[in-house]
Structure 1
């Protein structure tokens, strides 16, 4: 049984469970650092703690259940600088090692020669899966210790300690088993990261798993292919455990490494397989390179679609395109956009090297002033095929280039910039080519290839369509902006009143909608103020709003309609009579001077948020609700008018729901927020409107504001 266990891999006994690790200060006989698993064994221990006290805190027993004596205590022995080659114990507390009182295999090694850890020892507790294995392993270690290094023979494990306070995690100590396994002596490894054991066959995924765990300060166990100093490959099971000091700071990583690759025959068979793999890899290298090029091409096209579709600004779209191709396909690049006459209207450019800015800008200025002709004009306007021009500086190509532009200064400056290779690629839109992209490589780089041209053409097709979309959006945006501006009136001058109004497009991207305001100088001494919101957020809503405003103005001038409620009711009747399907909320108020120092306010609402009044003393209140259903819902409804008497100096605010409504929020919360903001806002109506939009203008809905100071 003893021979069988001695010959077996320790990993077969201990499995792949994590280890509990301590660092012991020898001269002070104290435990100064522990890893998380060791903290589970003695959860109440506060470091630094004497080795005996820590052992008592963990309640260590031998496998027969007896308490450890002072002379045989493994922690006490290592504190006397004696190595513990293997002793089976058990701990009271359950942990990641296993359930309560499962046997643990203790290995303790003084760390002689370790920088900054000369007076320390490493103590490792490994799980043993059954009592017989524990006893056999301990007996085997004791009987054969005279033949070889005791730690190597007892465990078959290599121990390393790395400094976690250094970002590169350099080794500060290894045990003799590490030297025996890898062929590297301590003087060859101290100060280096343990990655020198890796090689061409090491699994990148395993390396990534280990790197990510170490960066996160977490324990990790991986198995990967390593290489001895003599080049012999072996499979290494590596368990890295973080060690923390008394203050909780990560100080070291303890590595436990086990050769799990088998004996010499298995090593040779594996090396033969690796040699065959290397031969196969060499045969497949060309195919892999082609696949990488293809994947890089697809990645670039996918990235181009993602980046270019992320903006609807034409200029920004061109700049993003240039950032994609420089420096991957060019040392510098230019996008030329035509004017109405088919000549250079706009030039957008990017150079990879900032030191070339002076001469590059001079070249761009000359390019903007010249006229295109020949092949470049054909590419820009007639959909000609893309071109690759190598040997750009040769006399033959120089003569050919004379037919491209009218100003030869452009050609001279391009020569001064060291141009060696050029790709000229159209960026086709839906109906015509809208832009031309020129990709340039200089003498420091290789010339373009046919593959580069293919990538540029594919990229040009995608970019052309996306630029076309952005250009179409800008045109629609301009139309929408002008339409909205034409629908929102200039406020009239009304004696005794200060007026201010704002329209703010919501964050949903619609620049035109149904929100509106109106101030109407009605017959007599009064003035009507209107704030409303037609259902919808598009050009159709804006058109419906224009119709509705016309009806409101006409009804406001009808002397037979004596109250705001009558005006709204009449508008409701007319929308039905005229076949309009408009639904809208409207707040209609009429202000009339009411003796010295006061105004009379009559108001009615068709489902609109209540008007708000701020008095001279700063108090804010919402007017009593005169709200009925919106226009277009129930035309026969009898509406209500309410009357207020407001002193001069009061401020009346009408607004649309985009100012107060937020998704997932009760309306009353938004109204309370608006009241607080209005109370703290400036007294001037213009400044008040700007203040409200700055504080509350982050809505997804449109906002219209109308402020009237009496």
Structure 2
């Protein structure tokens, strides 16, 4: 990411900030000096308020060690690292603040500021911290009649906004983001949090209602669900918020008159069911559209919301809007990628007497597409090819490469229906090295044929892939670890072996990719043993149930890889 104009928030090149300018926009929405640092204390993003307060352009801040560049004692000397509370908070990933700190400005001046450091996720899985600095002001006493017994100090407000930024930008799941915001605001600001979102068809849905009850947060599913359409002319607070108007206050009396819309009817029900005596309602705006509205309500607390509470609520919903925009974009991209991947995978043939089914599960993160595939197609009336494979990578390039390899394999196998699987894979390997832009791939090609004795025979070759698993009807399971050869794309020429066996009646053959058995902190042997044990226990299940249960029980929860699986069940002899 290039350094942007110094007059705006900007991120340092070469560091893992959130893609695009989301991190910059998040910081720019903070109306005090805000600096994001990585876990080494290096400045990766700043907002314009920081540049103004510290009299330093972005180019003078980005990429610098925040401690060495800025932090001083009252005499202007660099604070020793061993005694620096700010640096200790960064290293321990904790939140710390102080009302008095001295910092060096670009013009040589020494400025006294209050500061706050809190953990901050630069991207999901990439840790850092957010540093806020502001001129210390003693807590103000309000005499305007708008004071409340729960007014937040400036430090409390900044800490809440910083925590909101961190929590919301560290997830790409809309539902998770809403639950996190509810937990941040209830019971700190209110007893209830209500989220109404607009769908892509401009329909309204009350997606989350959270209540603080007996010391815990409780989700009220009975108050959630579809809502009436937005009333275009209604002056009622929620209708105005869903049209993008400014935030406003509401109470039971707001909706006591004749309702002007279906939304007004639902709002009257909400106040009745929850017992809220006061509410603040603000729009959740994305970059281009209104995404919904947040209602914070008070029922147990005696103090009512006032106009003084609305700026903070708008700050929160502005951050929520950016996070939801990003999450929705990610989910749309993920859906498109997953749809493309599924269209690349084939429909299985109908083979008289055989049961055959397949599963594909996309990676839970990343681009959600990859190079895993399965295939099955006829070679002759009583012979079919079975394929499982994995092209290196987890992106669109891997998926495109997978489609090329699969189509070439089909062509080679169909043109030589009587050839041994090893001969077909050898031909494919040669083509992969010269035609397809695929770094490497593993695969199994098997020929399943019905003999004159009415028994099914399997002949296969394995190009560096996890071995097939054969499970008999009485629950014995073992791996077919013969016929192992080198993977595709290495450039090494070696003979590829074939092996053939007779498959027992009612046995189940499982071909799978490594996403089913591999996990970051476990050995491959552990995964293979787990798969064999669970498959044996499920041998009596119908094939569809067998596959579903196997995926659910065996696939590691912490594995960020896609899974392809092909299963065949041999019939009883006629």
Say whether residues 1:477 and 2:337 are aligned partners.
no
Look up the match of 1:295. 155
Q: Conserved in 2, the CA contact under 8 Å of 1:661 and 1:670? A: yes
Q: 1:461 aligns with which of 314, 318, 330?
A: 318
After the TM superposition, which residues 242-281 of structure 1 pair with which residues of structure 2 at under 5 Å, given as runs?
Answer: none
Q: 1:490 aligns with which of 321, 343, 347?
A: 347
Residues 36-60 of structure 1, C-alpha deviation per residue, up to 9 Å, x if partnerless?
xxxxxxxxxxxxxxxxxxxxxxxxx
Q: Conserved in 2, the CA contact under 8 Å of 1:620 and 1:679? A: yes
Q: Conserved in 2, the CA contact under 8 Å of 1:603 and 1:643? A: yes
Residues 146-177 of structure 1, C-alpha deviation per residue, up to 9 Å, x if partnerless?
xxxxxxxxxxxxxxxxxxxxxxxxxxxxxxxx
Look up the match of 2:185. 325
CA shift in 2, pair 1:430/1:292, >3 Å: closer
Q: Shift of residue 438 of structure 1? A: 3.3
Q: Shift of residue 664 of structure 1? A: 4.7
Q: Shift of residue 530 of structure 1? A: 0.7
Residues 308-363 of structure 1, C-alpha deviation per residue, up to 9 Å, x if partnerless?
44654424433443443344434544333234565645464445579xxxxx9999
Look up the match of 2:502. 645
* Larger Rg over CA atoms: 1
Q: Secondary structure at the match of 1:613?
A: strand
Q: Shift of residue 587 of structure 1? A: 0.3
CA shift in 2, pair 1:504/1:335, >3 Å: closer
Q: 1:704 aligns with which of 544, 564, 570?
A: 564
Look up the match of 2:450. 593
Look up the match of 2:391. 534
Look up the match of 1:688. 546
Q: Shift of residue 514 of structure 1? A: 1.9
Look up the match of 1:334. 194
Look up the match of 2:416. 559
**Distance in 1, Cα, partners of 2:489 & 2:420:** 19
After the TM superposition, which residues 427-442 of structure 1 pair with which residues of structure 2 at under 5 Å, given as runs?
Answer: 427-441=284-298
CA shift in 2, pair 1:286/1:437, >3 Å: closer
TM-score, normalised via structure 2 length: 0.61
Q: Shift of residue 412 of structure 1? A: 6.4
Look up the match of 1:622. 479
Say whether residues 1:584 and 2:444 are aligned partners.
no
Q: Conserved in 2, the CA contact under 8 Å of 1:518 and 1:530? A: yes
**Distance in 1, Cα, partners of 2:186 & 2:422:** 66
CA shift in 2, pair 1:347/1:496, >3 Å: closer
Unpaired segments ≥5 residues, structure 2: 1-136, 143-148, 215-219
**Distance in 1, Cα, partners of 2:337 & 2:226:** 37
**Distance in 2, Cα, partners of 1:559 & 1:668:** 36
Q: 1:607 aligns with which of 454, 457, 464?
A: 464
Q: Conserved in 1, the CA contact under 8 Å of 2:475 and 2:539? A: no
Name which structure has the greater RCO, CA cutoff 8 Å, separation 6+. Answer: 2
Say whether residues 1:520 and 2:377 are aligned partners.
yes
Q: Shift of residue 374 of structure 1? A: 5.6
Q: 2:516 aligns with which of 618, 641, 659?
A: 659
Q: Secondary structure at the match of 2:292?
A: strand
**Distance in 2, Cα, partners of 1:690 & 1:438:** 41
Residues 288-316 of structure 1, C-alpha deviation per residue, up to 9 Å, x if partnerless?
99996122213322443454446544244
Look up the match of 1:499. 356
Aligned length: 417
**Distance in 2, Cα, partners of 1:486 & 1:451:** 54
Q: Secondary structure at the match of 2:488?
A: coil
CA shift in 2, pair 1:635/1:402, >3 Å: farther
After the TM superposition, which residues 435-450 of structure 1 pair with which residues of structure 2 at under 5 Å, given as runs?
Answer: 435-441=292-298, 445-450=302-307
Residues 200-241 of structure 1, C-alpha deviation per residue, up to 9 Å, x if partnerless?
xxxxxxxxxxxxxxxxxxxxxxxxxxxxxxxxxxxxxxxxxx
Q: Shift of residue 460 of structure 1? A: 1.0
Report the structure, 1 or 2, having the larger helix content.
1
**Distance in 2, Cα, partners of 1:689 & 1:414:** 44
Q: Shift of residue 524 of structure 1? A: 4.5
Say whether residues 1:570 and 2:427 are aligned partners.
yes
**Distance in 2, Cα, partners of 1:343 & 1:666:** 49
Q: Shift of residue 549 of structure 1? A: 1.8
**Distance in 1, Cα, partners of 2:340 & 2:431:** 24
- Give me the CA root mean square deviation: 4.2
Look up the match of 1:241. none
CA shift in 2, pair 1:305/1:648, >3 Å: same
Q: Shift of residue 666 of structure 1? A: 4.2
CA shift in 2, pair 1:337/1:665, >3 Å: closer
CA shift in 2, pair 1:460/1:519, >3 Å: same
Look up the match of 2:94. none
After the TM superposition, which residues 151-190 of structure 1 pair with which residues of structure 2 at under 5 Å, given as runs?
Answer: none
**Distance in 2, Cα, partners of 1:602 & 1:495:** 19
**Distance in 2, Cα, partners of 1:672 & 1:284:** 64
CA shift in 2, pair 1:484/1:456, >3 Å: same
